[in-house]
Structure 1
Amino acid sequence: MLDVAAAQVSVIGLSGLSIGLLAERTRLSKSGLFSHFKSKEQLQLDVIDWTAELFAERVVRPALKAPRGEARLRALFDRKLRWDSGDLALPGGCFFYSVSAELDDAPPGPVRDRFLQAYRDYIDAIATIFRTGITEGQFRPDADPEQYAFDIQGVLMAFHHASRLLGDDRAEARARAAFEALLDAARI
Structure 2
Amino acid sequence: MNGRTLVLVSTVEVVEHADGRRARGERSRRAVLDHAVQVASVLGLDGLTFGTLAAGSPVNKSGIAGLFGSKEGLQLAAVARARDVFREAVVLPARDGDPGLATLWRTVRAWLGYSRSRVFEGGCFFRAAATELDARSPGPVRDAVVTALRDWDAYLGQLARGAVARGELDDGADVDQLVFTIDAALDRADLASVLLDDADAYDRAEAAVRAVLVAAGASGAALR
TM-score, structure 2 as length reference: 0.80
Supply the AA of the counterpart residue of 1:109: G
- Deviations for 1:28-71, whole angstroms, at most 9, x for unmatched residues? 21111111100000000000011111111111122122754211
- Deviations for 1:108-145, whole angstroms, at most 9, x for unmatched residues? 01111111101111111111111100011100111122
Matching residue within 67, 86, 95 for 1:64: 95
**Contact 1:85–1:164 under 8 Å retained in 2:** no
| Cα shift at 1:171 | 1.1
Supply the AA of the counterpart residue of 1:171: A
Q: Distance in 1 between matches of 2:189 and 2:66?
A: 40
**Contact 1:72–1:129 under 8 Å retained in 2:** yes
Distance 1:92 1:21, change over 3 A: same
Supply the AA of the counterpart residue of 1:158: R
Matching residue within 26, 30, 38 for 2:61: 30
Secondary structure of 1:101 counterpart: helix
2:112 match: 81
Confirm or deny that 1:49 pairs with 2:49.
Answer: no
- Deviations for 1:78-118, whole angstroms, at most 9, x for unmatched residues? 110111122x6211110001111100001001111111101
Q: Distance in 1 between matches of 2:44 and 2:96?
A: 32
Supply the AA of the counterpart residue of 1:183: L
Q: Distance in 2 between matches of 1:107 and 1:68?
A: 35
1:139 match: 169
Larger-Rg structure: 2
Report percent identity of matched pairs. 38
Matching residue within 189, 192, 197 for 1:167: 197
Q: Distance in 2 between matches of 1:106 and 1:12?
A: 17
1:182 match: 212
Supply the AA of the counterpart residue of 1:111: V
Supply the AA of the counterpart residue of 1:21: T
Matching residue within 28, 39, 47 for 1:8: 39
Q: Distance in 1 between matches of 2:99 and 2:143?
A: 31
Give the count of matched residue pairs: 187
TM-score, structure 1 as length reference: 0.95
Matching residue within 129, 149, 153 for 1:119: 149
2:14 match: none
Structure 1 stretches of 4+ with a deviation exceeding 6 A read none
Supply the AA of the counterpart residue of 1:76: T
